[in-house]
Every structure is written in C-alpha cells, then in structure tokens.
Amino acid sequence: FFLWALAATFFTATMVIDEKRQRANKRDMLCCITRKTSPDEEDTGAKEGRLPKFFRNYHAPAILSKQGKVVTLLTFLGLFIFGIYGLVNLPVEDSARNFIPQDSYINTYSATADEYFPSSGTSLYITFENGESIYSNRVSLAELDTRVNGLSEEPPYIAEPTSDSTYQNVMTGLKQYLSDSGTASIGGATLGEDGWPTSYEDFVSTVEKYTDARGPGSTYRGDVAYDPTKTNIQAYRVKLEYVRLTKEFRGEVLDDASRQIEAMDATREMVESWEDLQPSFPYSAQFITIEGFKIIGSELYRNVGLAIACVGVIVLITVANAATAFLITANVAFCIIEILGFMFALGIVIDSVSVINVVLAVGLSVDYSAHIGHCFMVKGGTNNDARVTETLADMGASVFNGALSTFLAVAVLLLSKSYVFKTLAIQFALTVILGVAHGLVLLPVLLSLFGPKSFASAELPQDTKNLGTESIESIEIPRTNKNSVTTQHTQSLQN
C-alpha cells in the first residue's frame, strides 16, 4: 500500500518537477543553474537504447522463430514437471535449530549432545477430570498400562510402559501400595473387597496423604489437582512418553514431522475411544509445534492458490482481456510451482519463513508478466510476432532493469549466516530469475501463439521495414486513419 501511495503521490510529483526542469533547460544535479544551448542544437527526441535494440534485433527473433518456440516450450515444460515433482515431495520439517547462527557454539553443543546423550521421546500427559468419575473408574485407571501397551511400533508410537520414565500413574502406584502396606500410614481408611477405600471421601483423603510431600507417593504430588479445601479431586494426569520419531534427511537426523502428526492424531482418537474413562484429554508440550506442522502445508497451498486467484482477477480488471489475463495468471502459477521445485532441490523445507516468502513471491512475479501482457494489447496489427517484438523492444528493458535491481537488493543476503535472511535471499533470487524468465521468454512465446487481438485504440508499429512483406500486409490500418491520410494527400495535391 505504501509503495502504491508513494508512486501515486510523491513519485508523480517529482516526475512533474523534473519535466519542468528539463523544459527550462536546467541541469540535473545543479537544477538552479541554467544550461547553455548551442545555436545548432536540435531536439531529435529519445533514441532507442542498446538494451531495447537487443530485444528487438536478437532476443525476439531468437525466441519467436519456429525452433526458438519449440525450445522455449520444451524447456519450460521440463521446468514445470520438475516443479511438480518438488512440490509433491516438499517436506514439512522442524527447522527450529536452523534459526541458530551457523557459527554459534550452541550448534556444537547440540551435535555433541545428540551423539553422546541422545534425548528420549516427548512426554505425553493424559488428564482425567471429575473426581467422582475417577473414583468410579479406579480399577480401570489403575490398569491403564494394559491399554497403552504394544503401541510403540505404530501410531500413536507410545513407548512401552515398563519404567517410571515411560509410565507414571498415581492410581497404579496407589493400588500397589495399598496391596502391600494398606492404609495405616496414610489415614487408615477402610478398604473394600476390591482393595480401594469404600467411599469417595476416604478415597480423596487417602490420595492426598499418599501424594503428600512426606508421603510414600510424593513422586506423584504434581499429578493430582484438588479444590482449595482438598476435599475433592478436580483432575489427575498420567504421564506417558512417545518413542523418538526421527528420520534422515539429506544427511541430517531430523524430527519426523509426518509421523509426529500421525502420533498426535492417533493419540486423540485413542483417548476418545475410552468411553468408560471420560472426561479425559491428551496433551503434550510438543502438540503446539505439531499442530503447526499439520496445517502449515495446507495453509501454504491454500494461500498461494488464493493469491494467484486474486492476481487473476486484478489482472483481468487492469488488462481488460480474458485471454491475456489467463496467460499472465498461468505464467505466474507456473513460476510459483517451479520455485517450490527448486526449494526442494536446495533443501528448503516448508516452515514459517519459507511459506511467507512463497506467498510474497506471487506478488513479485506478477510484475514481470503483467507489464508485457498489457503492452502487447496496445500494439496494433494482426501479426502476433510483430506485436511481441514491439512489446519486448518497448517494455523488455524496463522489466529486465526492474528484475536486476531487485536481485541486487537481495543478493547481498545470500552471504548471510542467518537462516531467515539466507532463506529470504534464496527464495527472492529464485522469484526474480524465474519471474523474469517467464515474463521475457515464455509469455512472449505464448502471446505469439495464443495472443488475442489488440485493443481498438492500439497503435500501429512505427517501423515496419524489417517485418517483411507478409508482416506489412497483415497490419490492419484503421479506416479512419486511411481516410485521414487520403484527405491530407488530396489537399496537398490541390495546393
């Protein structure tokens, strides 16, 4: 918005001021000094520069020849197939460590810790609410290990409950203690035939004394939540652990995001299936990150799709031709797909940084195609090759210079040690290179093959000497211009 506002106000005003300076024959740097004009100096108008001449005399003939069109279409078809392959295989991975600078001592520490002291799996807690329900299901809760046994090799990938580090359940511990020692040292409550206190009030009192800081079950103290009076249990949790879910990706050992998603979803389904133990829910501190893994891929494709759709609508409004707008939008879509393909080839994964950059790439890449498409529509004649040649001669240099300035702005970031800036630089460099290639190579070829008729107000090419006889005959001169030329010629003869 701010770029548009500045271009529509400040930039326009400065251009007007500069035009007045030129007409007043004043110097550019020292605008207060009037420039001396020689008597024989003549304003011959603007001359075509070297870059426009290159586009007219070399670039356009090369890509618009039959061989050039075939090579161009085959080349970009290959890039498109490569982009589809990369898009399908582009992974969602945990890139948290990438945010650490490459030369930081933390990387050395983490690598050493991974080698000699590999971390265990992620902790999982299943919380059971409502004290009355907990007491009613006391037998099932004490035997919860039987429900999570044998799940380490398939989703939800829960480690076998064979040690205190992988399974911690106050109900299991309390049941074992009551069987071995009774309630003499933890309140003396009467036990029923099932080995549990006979009333809910005695159960709460027994659990409270068992998990007291000085009680035999002090290990479970943080797993039980009471009301302020400690006469009612609000909830308690069971601690489990996931097995470590990792994979090797390009020589590095990374957390396997896809299996983590499977583990989280399967855990929730498992807990929901325990209809006799409700209300309950699972939670892990890693779920926040995994939720991001779960949605970020679909968010990427949804947002990019919506951005491209918006580009199509805006281009249709501004260009005012459905066929040209479709070619421009398709050009942008092909460019984004190829960017995703090169991301896979360069090892850039889907994360919060790359997703933002890809969405921004839609807005950047459309510039290189939209200007070419609009300029094509204002070039008169029926020979599309001639119209494309004039388009590239008029607009090619501006598009190329804009791409070059953008590339130079981000090129310095390619040497950055920051993951954020380096990823930004790589993706923006891909956007510029692929965007300008589509705008100055592929789109002109597509316009020459499928381009629509020009606007009724389109101007005819000023120089048709090098277009050939067929090209000249194919140029349709508006009827009003023919009459005007005939009238002027008749008047000149009469004079």
Residue 125 falls in which region: left (phi positive, over 0), alpha (psi -120 to 50) or beta = beta
- Whether 395 and 372 have beta carbons less than 8 Å apart is answered as yes
Give this prediction's pTM: 0.78
Q: How high is the pLDDT of residue 43?
A: 56
Tell me the C-alpha distance between 358 and 338, whole Å: 11
Tell me the C-alpha distance between 334 and 328, whole Å: 10
Tell me the C-alpha distance between 495 and 490, whole Å: 9
φ and ψ at 125, to 5 degrees? -120, 135
Residue 175 makes CB contacts below 8 A (sequence gap 6+) with 138, 142, 195, 196
Q: How high is the pLDDT of residue 44?
A: 55
Residue 95 makes CB contacts below 8 A (sequence gap 6+) with 349, 351, 353, 419
Q: How high is the pLDDT of residue 203?
A: 94
Could you tell me which residues are beta bridge partners of residue 235? 129, 225
Tell me the C-alpha distance between 174 and 191, whole Å: 13
Where the chain has pLDDT below 70, the residues are 37-46, 119, 461-495
Helix axes 287-319, 257-273, angle to 10 degrees: 110
The verdict on whether omega for the bond into residue 279 sits within 30 degrees of 0, i.e. cis, is: yes
Q: What is the pLDDT of residues 137-155, one digit of tens each?
A: 999 999 999 999 999 999 9
Q: How high is the pLDDT of residue 492?
A: 41
Stretch (H or E) spanning 129: strand 123-129
Q: How high is the pLDDT of residue 283?
A: 95
